[in-house]
Amino acid sequence: MIKQQLVDAIRMLEKAGYIDHNGHCSARRDENTFYINSGAAVRGALTADDIVTSDLAGNLVEGSARPPLEFHIHAEAYRARPDVNAVMHTHPQWSTFLTMTGTKYQPVYAQGVLLGDIPLMDSPLSINTKPMGEKMAQLLGNGPAVLLKAHGVVVVGADIIECFALA
Ligand SMILES: [Zn+2]
């Protein structure tokens, strides 16, 4: 059920052009593990079989394919935020263009207000180490999102539906 909900969310985000082929989304399973699409999965043709279980150290708990290299985004968000049960990392082109220019995010549509004042992680590098993940989680604070410069965005939510809507 939760795996299928995650699959549906990823496929809809891919269809909307936000995932850009290699984004990743997860849902908390328990305190120390989460469901996530594997790094190699084709996002636009995803099925529940492409969802693997990872622990917070990136070890595969269930499934046969590796979690994405940027699993730290998810692990450190879950570690820092007990209230978070879903994490989505996408590559929306407009937020990527915006952060390239150094211009601050400002809501101009009502929907944008839902995200409030989004902090910026001022590095275009992949979040593929624990210290990078911790820095991202620190910037996220208690908010719903953090922008990654010239790269994408990380959105968190209390559940998959809330997280998807915010993403
Ligand atoms: Zn990315």
pLDDT at residue 109 in the model: 85
* 2-166 under CATH 3.30.470.20, yes or no: no
82 CA to centre of ligand 1 in angstroms? 23
- Distance of alpha carbon 50 from alpha carbon 157, whole angstroms: 22
- Distance of alpha carbon 74 from alpha carbon 47, whole angstroms: 20
pLDDT at residue 69 in the model: 95
68 CA to centre of ligand 1 in angstroms? 10
152 CA to centre of ligand 1 in angstroms? 6
User: 163, 86 in Cβ contact below 8 A?
Assistant: yes
123 CA to centre of ligand 1 in angstroms? 12
What contacts 86, CB < 8 A, 6 or more positions away?
6, 25, 26, 27, 28, 156, 157, 158, 159, 160, 162, 163, 164
pLDDT at residue 167 in the model: 94
Q: Which two tokens stand for residue 167?
A: 């993403």
113 CA to centre of ligand 1 in angstroms? 23
pLDDT at residue 111 in the model: 83
Global pTM? 0.96
107 CA to centre of ligand 1 in angstroms? 23
* Domain layout of the chain by residue ranges: 2-166
79 CA to centre of ligand 1 in angstroms? 20
Give the position of tokens 């850009």: 20
pLDDT at residue 118 in the model: 94
In order along its 167 residues, the chain shows pLDDT tens digits of 899 999 999 999 999 999 988 899 999 999 999 999 999 999 989 999 999 999 999 999 999 999 999 999 999 999 999 999 999 999 999 889 999 998 888 888 888 888 988 999 999 999 999 999 999 999 999 999 999 999 999 999 999 999 999 99
pLDDT at residue 20 in the model: 86
